[in-house]
Amino acid sequence: MASDPRHPLLADTSSLIAVANTDQWDVLAESVALTTTNVCKHELQNHVNANTYAPEGSREQYLKRGSQRVLDHLDEDSSSWSCVTVVPRPHGPDAGEESLKQELSEHGDSYQVVSLLDGAARRSIRRLVDDHGYDIDVVDGKLHR
């Protein structure tokens, strides 16, 4: 994983997990260049560690499998995915979304699209984008068929 390149797509934890759990994972992992934050990466690691014995078909298995796929891809040297460090690091249940807000506040000109699953987080990010006058699309992170 490269240290700090910023790709035009910024994604949160839930969006990454959703993509990793689709049939299109292999294609998307290899063809999309995206950026996430150290906080989202930490949330992914927490999902992997917390769900040691996730039952087949459970939400815990969905989180663990998706998180592990994303972490493995982020750690590949040839990956076109990057992880940027956000300081100070936010904490709490919305830390991932808050880290995206921090990243956009400091480096918004680097991004064209922000992908989030949470509706409230999308609205909050849209306000930030509007307040700063950035030309960024804020989208639902779910893949629609």
The enclosing domain of 93 has a CATH number of 3.40.50.1010
Which two tokens mark 82? Answer: 């990057």
Q: Is residue 74 a part of any domain in this protein?
A: yes
Q: φ, ψ for residue 10 (rounded to 5)?
A: -110, 125
Q: Is residue 105 a part of any domain in this protein?
A: yes
Q: Is residue 1 a part of any domain in this protein?
A: no
Q: Does the predicted TM-score (pTM) go above 0.85?
A: yes
The domain total for the chain is: 1
CA distance 123 to 95: 16
Give me the domain span that covers residue 51. Answer: 9-140
Q: Is residue 38 a part of any domain in this protein?
A: yes
pLDDT digits (tens, 9 = 90+) for 47-91: 999 978 889 999 999 999 999 999 999 999 888 999 999 999 999
Q: Is residue 94 a part of any domain in this protein?
A: yes
